Chains A and B, each alone.
Chain A
Amino acid sequence: MLEGLKHPSSDVFFKYGSLVFAASVIGVIALSMVVLVRGAFPALTSFGFRFLTGVDWDAAVGFGALPYILGTLVTASIAIIIGVPISLGIAIFLAEMAPDAIKVAVSNIIELLAAVPSIIYGLWGLYVLRVWVANYVQSPLQNSFGFLPIFSGTSYGLNFLTAGLILAIMIIPTVASISREVMVSVPISQREAAYSVGATRWEVVRMSVLSYSRSGIFGAAVLGLGRAVGETMAVTMVIGGATGASALPTSLFKPGQTMATILVNQLSEAESGSLQLAALLGIGLVLFAIAFSINIVAQLLVWRVLKVQAGAVE
């Protein structure tokens, strides 16, 4: 009799068993941190703070990560500056302005863009986009303003600008679809308020939708930044792969390097136990820290908006 009243042990086992699996996420993140810190330790102790500010990349002189950190910042900024406004335009178009049939078709196509593997963007970037940038952006700019240092550089199209452009293309689907979702979650009553005082569709977007979803849209942009910072293969194939002081982003049309690309270019060939390997792992650690912080901020912003509002929309 009492047997049935006892706590069902197989259920307890199931609950905590599945918890162990779910908690593996925490394990993966903690383990990554430990592994990277330990691997980067030799470089961090030999160079100290200079690891973040140094520009050399040479076993004889030392290793500094500054050019790659800046390279990541520059390419990601180009991506945000170009990609976010376009994404917002798409999101507004899909959430508010477009006729229903077009909405469905366009959102499907945008989602497919997100599905194309990075390596294919890279291949296309190397053979198509690079040529286009070299011929239609770089030459005209260099012909007219070549005396400005920011436009100096080689003419192959393997440079920061091409890398930033391909990143912009790659973050658009993410930023657009999350912004769209955030906008759609704005309560109907907010739109009605604007419509009822005689607002046009665009004015409804401006008065109600955009002001209500600001923080969520900002979160979507930050998420896009996270993607741009961590994106690897496509950038590796178009950025040129400079190292040392020459990789500093002083011109849009210079070959460079980001944190992610130097890992792809050098890690698998770095000698076990070498300072170069430790320096590369140090770059991995910096990338980890930056990506982790960016994603936490982004998730907090987007998550709050979508989860909290999901309850509020009747």
Chain B
Amino acid sequence: MTLHLQTEEKQPLSREEILHPHRTLENSKVRTEDFDAWYGNNQVLKKLNIEVREHSVTAIIGPSGCGKSTLIRCLNRMHELVSRARTSGRVMLDGSDIYAKGVDPVTIRRRVGMVFQKPNPFPTMSVYDNVAAGLRLNGERNHSVLDRAVQQSLELAFLWDEVKGDLDKSGASLSGGQQQRLCIARALAVEPEVILMDEPCSALDPIATAKIEELIASIKGNYTVVIVTHNMQQAARVSDFTAFLYLGQLIEYGETTSLFENPVEELTERYLTGKFG
């Protein structure tokens, strides 16, 4: 399914492509094409072109207000839930446009899961029901299937050992870090292809943060992860690729090590060295 990308016509490299060497990745999972997003009259993303490689972790960094959260909310069509929000351009998931006419956002969100800034387990549901929620929506009623999926997801989220005796407890009774891992397990349970994480550790303490970073590293073999973070060290630790956004535009994009060590753009360097942001 990614083969046809390689057959695209070869053209001389433009400045854009030199700056953003991963514009034509071999195994692209998600790709935005001239993508714009607005809140009312306020344009928050401008002609954005970015590509995410399958089974990798891509970090999106940038000062607050740069559009990084908006960007990932556009990748599973959550952006449009805000009133007066709109978009233009395309977002290709496995080569087909998720914004094309007739595409149901619900099926997209089923394939592209999301974890939010503040842990948001369903407060009236138990730990078990939280994890099983997505599967049940899809009509899964078989107890042994659900049991297995719940256990697997909680194991992937490094939470199983802590909660296996308390599966009936309310999801809201867990600690903040546990709640966030529960939300990750909930997202993993429906076996999405891509997982979007919107500053998943911003409400957590360092120990809980370390657990989640470890978790991200352990799942990337099977999932494509896009993580927004305001913490540059975190981006450097967990990601394979990093994108730097500023004022709604993609300034620089590349392998994390090279971007952090040898940023091409002056703006990136100034941001990384803490001169602004």
Report A's interface with B, CB cutoff 8 A: 100, 187, 189-200, 203, 207-208, 211-212, 214
**Are A197 and B133 also in contact (CB < 8 A) when A100-B83, A208-B122 are?**
yes
Query: Cβ of B106 and Cβ of A192 under 8 Å apart?
Result: no
Query: Cβ of B109 and Cβ of A195 under 8 Å apart?
Result: yes
Enumerate chain A residues within 8 angstroms of B138, measured Cβ to Cβ: 198
Query: Cβ of B106 and Cβ of A198 under 8 Å apart?
Result: yes
Query: Cβ of A212 and Cβ of B78 under 8 Å apart?
Result: no
Q: Is B22 an interface residue (CB 8 A)?
A: no
Query: Cβ of B116 and Cβ of A193 under 8 Å apart?
Result: yes
Q: Closest residue to A214 on the B side, CB-wise?
A: B124
- Interface stretch among B23-31, B182-190, B209-217? B182-190
Query: Cβ of A198 and Cβ of B81 under 8 Å apart?
Result: no
Query: Cβ of B124 and Cβ of A197 under 8 Å apart?
Result: no
**Are A198 and B134 also in contact (CB < 8 A) when A189-B118, A193-B120 are?**
yes
Return B34 CB to nearest CB of chain A, in Å.
Answer: 26
The 8 Å CB contact of B78, one of A187, A195, A200, is A195
Chain B contacts with A in 103-136, Cβ cutoff 8 A: 106-107, 109-110, 113-116, 118, 120-125, 133-134
Query: Cβ of A196 and Cβ of B123 under 8 Å apart?
Result: no
Counting from the closest, the 8 A-B pairs by CB-CB distance are A198-B110, A197-B134, A196-B114, A189-B120, A211-B124, A193-B120, A198-B109, A200-B106
28 A-B pairs (CB sep. < 8 Å) = A100-B83, A187-B120, A189-B120, A190-B120, A190-B122, A191-B81, A193-B116, A193-B120, A193-B122, A196-B76, A196-B109, A196-B113, A196-B116, A196-B187, A197-B110, A197-B113, A197-B186, A197-B189, A197-B190, A198-B110, A198-B134, A198-B190, A203-B137, A208-B122, A211-B122, A211-B123, A212-B124, A214-B124
Return B88 CB to nearest CB of chain A, in Å.
Answer: 20
Q: Beyond A192-B116, A198-B134, A198-B137: 15 further Cβ-contacts under 8 Å?
A: A189-B120, A195-B78, A195-B81, A195-B109, A196-B76, A196-B109, A196-B114, A196-B115, A198-B107, A199-B106, A199-B137, A200-B106, A207-B133, A212-B124, A214-B124
Return B68 CB to nearest CB of chain A, in Å.
Answer: 17
Per-residue interface assignment for chain B, residues 123 to 156, with 1 indicating a CB less than 8 Å from any chain A CB and 0 otherwise: 1110000000110011000000000000000000
Enumerate chain A residues within 8 angstroms of B81, measured Cβ to Cβ: 191-192, 195
- Distance, CA A170 to CA B78, complexed state (A): 38
- Distance, CA A216 to CA B124, complexed state (A): 15
Q: What's the tally of chain B residues with a CB closer than 8 Å to chain A?
A: 28
- Distance, CA A194 to CA B78, complexed state (A): 11
Enumerate chain B residues within 8 angstroms of A207, measured Cβ to Cβ: 122, 133
Return A217 CB to nearest CB of chain B, in Å.
Answer: 13
Return B74 CB to nearest CB of chain A, in Å.
Answer: 14
Q: Closest residue to A199 on the B side, CB-wise?
A: B137
- Distance, CA A127 to CA B186, complexed state (A): 58
- Distance, CA A211 to CA B172, complexed state (A): 14
Q: Closest residue to A210 on the B side, CB-wise?
A: B124
Per-residue interface assignment for chain B, residues 157 to 183, with 1 indicating a CB less than 8 Å from any chain A CB and 0 otherwise: 000000000000000000000000001
Q: Closest residue to B108 on the A side, CB-wise?
A: A198
Q: Closest residue to B113 on the A side, CB-wise?
A: A196
Per-residue interface assignment for chain B, residues 13 to 43, with 1 indicating a CB less than 8 Å from any chain A CB and 0 otherwise: 0000000000000000000000000000000
The 8 Å CB contact of B114, one of A191, A192, A199, is A192
Q: Closest residue to B84 on the A side, CB-wise?
A: A100
Query: Cβ of B106 and Cβ of A212 under 8 Å apart?
Result: no
Enumerate chain A residues within 8 angstroms of B109, measured Cβ to Cβ: 195-199
Return B191 CB to nearest CB of chain A, in Å.
Answer: 11
- Distance, CA A100 to CA B123, complexed state (A): 28
- Distance, CA A214 to CA B186, complexed state (A): 23
Enumerate chain B residues within 8 angstroms of A211, measured Cβ to Cβ: 122-125
Enumerate chain A residues within 8 angstroms of B115, measured Cβ to Cβ: 196
Enumerate chain A residues within 8 angstroms of B190, measured Cβ to Cβ: 197-198
- Distance, CA A189 to CA B110, complexed state (A): 17
Enumerate chain A residues within 8 angstroms of B124, measured Cβ to Cβ: 211-212, 214
Return B90 CB to nearest CB of chain A, in Å.
Answer: 21
Enumerate chain A residues within 8 angstroms of B76, measured Cβ to Cβ: 196
Enumerate chain A residues within 8 angstroms of B121, measured Cβ to Cβ: 193
- Most B CB contacts (10 A, CB to CB) among A198, A211, A212 go to A198
